[in-house]
Structure 1
Amino acid sequence: LLKNFLYFLSRKELDFIRNVTKGVNHVWIGLNITSPERTWMWVDGSLNLLNKLKPLIIFSSFHRFPITGLAEQNSCGVMKGEQIRSDICGAEFKWVCQKEAFQI
């Protein structure tokens, strides 16, 4: 399941997710901290140009997002609209996943 968590590749994907989750509280995305170094990583293992500045910011080719909340070991990223915040990975939220399209 974790390998299928969403991570943003384009502004188009972000806009799609914002529309799909409109009216929903925070949703899990594929962003987490699992190491003592407190480095934000996508679940596929990529840093995706993340850094350790405070507040933490996701840099991508299309946007910058501040990540609010504490960056502690076992923290996960949750999203609502264009806001991303840190929360305990064990907290209960809906999640957003992605998978390859297939022809019917």
Structure 2
Amino acid sequence: MVMCQLLSCSEVPTSQEHDHEKQRIHQKLDQLKAKLDHLCRPCSWDWMFFQGNCYFFSTFQEKWKESVKACKDMGAQLVVIKSNDEQSFLQRTCKKKRNTWMGLSDRKEEGQWLWVDGSPLLFNFRNYWSAGEPNNQDNEDCAVFSDSGWNDITCSHEAFWVCKKPASPCSK
């Protein structure tokens, strides 16, 4: 008699109750997924967003050519500066790391500074060079952000780098 009472008191869910619980959990998961779909990250987690673009700041150093390739491999390009605000943002951020490559060089023709997208360095951006730069000392053909402004250094030097790509639009 005692054994019968123990069996009838135990709370073992029926398969129908188990199926109902699974269905309730799946419903909750679907609701959470729907909410997550409405969140928008215009840039990947390891990229920084600024004025419609995503920026990747490397954590190790490479030569200029390898930095160009690293950015291309990430679907981006070595940074091309398009505005004074962007320059200020990059200069502030790169100052923490010391020399950091940008996508500017005069490798094709000495003194003819071009961005990696083929566009020329705008005249009003020339004031970002540090005092006495660019000076082409020791055949310096690639540009970096340095402590006080831009500097030309040899492209075979190893430095950090910054990649840039357009931010992803958030669909609604």
Partner residue of 1:11? 84
Corresponding residue of 1:65: 128
2:158 corresponds to 1:85: no
Q: Secondary structure at the match of 1:21?
A: helix
Q: Name the one with the larger helix percent.
A: 2
Can you give the 5+ residue segments of structure 2 that lack an aligned partner in the other structure?
1-70
Q: Report the structure number with the largest CA radius of gyration.
A: 2
Match of 2:162 in 1: 96
Q: Deviations over 1:51-100 (max 9, x none)?
A: xxxxxxxx23x672333331776710011245111111111000011111
The 1-side partners of 2:106 and 2:138 are apart by 7
The CA distance in 2 between the partners of 1:25 and 1:90, in whole Å, is 16
User: C-alpha separation between the residues in 1 aligned to 2:140 and 2:134?
Assistant: 15
User: TM-score scaled to structure 2, two decimals?
Assistant: 0.46
CA distance in 2, matches of 1:89, 1:63: 20
SS of the aligned residue for 1:64 comes to helix
Residue correspondences, number:
93
Structure with higher strand content: 1
User: What is the percentage of aligned positions where both structures have the same residue?
Assistant: 28
1:54 corresponds in structure 2 to none
SS in 1 for 2:120: coil
1:9-66 per-residue CA deviation (whole Å, 9 max, x = no partner) reads 111111211232232111001111222x3121111111133xxxxxxxxx23x67233
Correspondences of 1:36-75 after superposition (within 5 Å): 37-38=109-110, 39-49=112-122, 59-60=123-124, 64-66=127-129, 67-70=133-136, 75=141
Paired amino acid for 1:43: V
Compute the RMSD of aligned alpha carbons: 2.5
